[in-house]
Amino acid sequence: MQPPSVDAGGSPLVSVIIPTHDRLPMLREAIASVQAQTLRERELIVVDDGSRDGTWEWLQTAAGLRALRLPERRGPAAARNAGAREARGRYLALLDSDDLFRPDKLELQVALLEASPPSLALCHSDELWLRGGRELRQGKQHEKRGGWIFEHCLPLCRVSPSAAVIRREVFEELGGFDEELEIAEDYELWLRLTCRHPVGFIAEPLTIKRGGHADQLSAKYGQIEKFRIEALRRVLLHAPLSAAQRASALEALRGKCAIYAAGCEKRGRLEEAARCRELPELLAGGDRRG
């Protein structure tokens, strides 16, 4: 295994952070994809989020990485934030333990960021999606782009954590991921980021995203729209949105709440439906109880 590499100043250019929970076979492959990177000025930080499958014991013997352990499972937001606090790199690259990097991923994305002004906060890329080992075509709703993309990110999460490389000072300025969100924590962070900064995009599948396994949180909870509604509520309450951005976010929230409330009504959850329908108007009126 390759040792961590550093620049001439003694610090890595990029810190790669992998959060993991009970995915040791996939984790080994994710780590190998980082160690195969053509960019040498990097470090790898693996955060074991309360695994019980021997992950922590294996990490004690693994070379070319630093390992952290959260004794109890706290979720991907807390695990990524813990890794970021230990990072020494100028940039943070995120990798979920069921995904893989293409060998030139970091080299291409860091080159774009290094050639761009500091206002370009993040670079993301296209992805190759696999489900059950077979390629899955992405629908148009998952189309990715660069620039000022706040409104583009409102319908769903269009920046995959495993496809993102972010300037560390921006991540710290934003306060990292919201650890109270177990799902849609990435959606919420990217909205807070894209309302303030433009992003770069490389239209090549530099990340391999592997889906279809039962331990994915999206599979565990099914209906993700409830979590996006909560994420949007927090963004509307706390993010420094322009008037136009706020109007767009409220419009997106109204649409999501209408769909989710209709589903609640079909299932007889009438109080939940009523609260959901009321939420956008509470926030539009500036009621901070929303």
Residue 2 has pLDDT above 50, yes or no: no
Tell which residue, 4, 101, 1, has the closest CA to residue 43. Answer: 4
Q: Are residues 66 and 198 in the same domain?
A: yes
Residue 25 has pLDDT above 60, yes or no: yes
Q: Are residues 89 and 58 in the same domain?
A: yes
Of 31-45, 202-216, 270-284, give the lowest mean pLDDT range: 202-216
Of the residues 215, 233, 248, the one at which a domain ends: 215
Residue 217 has pLDDT above 90, yes or no: no
46 in any annotated domain = yes
Residue 211 has pLDDT above 90, yes or no: no
7 in any annotated domain = no
Q: How many degrees, rounded to 5, is the angle at CA 108 between CA 102 and CA 111? A: 155
Q: Are residues 172 and 198 in the same domain?
A: yes
Mean pLDDT of the chain: 92
Tell which residue, 17, 16, 18, 19, has the closest CA to residue 5. Answer: 16
Q: Are residues 108 and 137 in the same domain?
A: yes
- Model confidence over 159-179: pLDDT tens digits? 999 999 999 999 999 999 999
pLDDT of residue 142: 79
178-188: average pLDDT:
96
Domain containing residue 156: 14-215
Q: Are residues 100 and 231 in the same domain?
A: no
Task: Name residue 14's beta-bridge partners.
Answer: 42, 91
Residue 6 has pLDDT above 70, yes or no: no
Residue 23 has pLDDT above 70, yes or no: yes
134 in any annotated domain = yes
Q: Are residues 175 and 59 in the same domain?
A: yes
Percent share of the chain, pLDDT over 70: 91
Residue 7 has pLDDT above 60, yes or no: no
Residue 143 has pLDDT above 70, yes or no: yes
235-240: average pLDDT:
97
CATH of the domain at 179: 3.90.550.10
Query: CA 238 to CA 246: how far, in whole Å?
Result: 11
Confidence of residue 140 (pLDDT cuts 50, 70, 90): confident
pLDDT of residue 1: 32
Q: Are residues 153 and 266 in the same domain?
A: no
5 in any annotated domain = no
Q: Are residues 236 and 159 in the same domain?
A: no
Q: Are residues 167 and 275 in the same domain?
A: no
Higher-pLDDT residue of 241, 6: 241
Percent share of the chain, pLDDT over 90: 83
265-270: average pLDDT:
95
2 in any annotated domain = no
Q: How many separate domains does the chain show?
A: 2
Of the residues 215, 245, 268, the one at which a domain ends: 215
Of the residues 197, 215, 233, the one at which a domain ends: 215
Q: Are residues 255 and 182 in the same domain?
A: no
Q: Are residues 230 and 211 in the same domain?
A: no
* Other CB atoms within 10 A of residue 174 CB: 18
Residue 218 has pLDDT above 70, yes or no: no
26 in any annotated domain = yes
167 in any annotated domain = yes
pLDDT of residue 132: 75
Q: Are residues 233 and 270 in the same domain?
A: yes
Confidence of residue 3 (pLDDT cuts 50, 70, 90): very low
52 in any annotated domain = yes
Query: CA 76 to CA 178: how far, in whole Å?
Result: 10
